[in-house]
Amino acid sequence: MTDSKKIEDGGPVPVDDSWTAGLQSDQWDEKTRGKKMSDASGRVIYKYQMPVLERFTMRLPIGAKIIRMADQGGMFWLWAEVRTDVPDEERHFWAFKCGGKIPDDINIKYIGFCAVFVQQELGLYIYEEVSHAAD
């Protein structure tokens, strides 16, 4: 949506605020994240449900800092310090079990560990794919 704002000399200045439509605070999905506990905005900690897959992509606010990862109630969860006033970006993750082959041609960094129970505990080590310029 394009709007205009007045500046001190009284002239209109066009403002394009269409990017705000993709803000995290507007994308709360109660099906996967449960009831929203706070209307805090700006810099906050949010909890996200992760898929239990070998490779997956998640949408997080640009610059989200992952601070914790854990399994709860048979699901995988990620906690991140985020800004609610920035658009989302796609982040790519890999999950490896102990003894699983890690491809040589990917640049990843370790994020955390989660366990899933399928007749026995299966631990998955979660890595995030990073650009070759980072780390």
Q: Which of 13-17, 29-33, 89-93, 103-107 has the lowest mean pLDDT?
A: 13-17
106 or 122, which is more confident: 106
Q: Is the pLDDT of residue 59 over 60?
A: yes
pTM of the model: 0.70
pLDDT tens for each residue of 91-107: 999 999 999 999 999 99
User: How high is the pLDDT of residue 27?
Assistant: 59
Angstrom distance (rounded) from CA 127 to CA 134: 14
Cα-atom radius of gyration of the chain, to the nearest Å? Answer: 19
Three-point CA angle 49, 107, 102, nearest 5°: 80
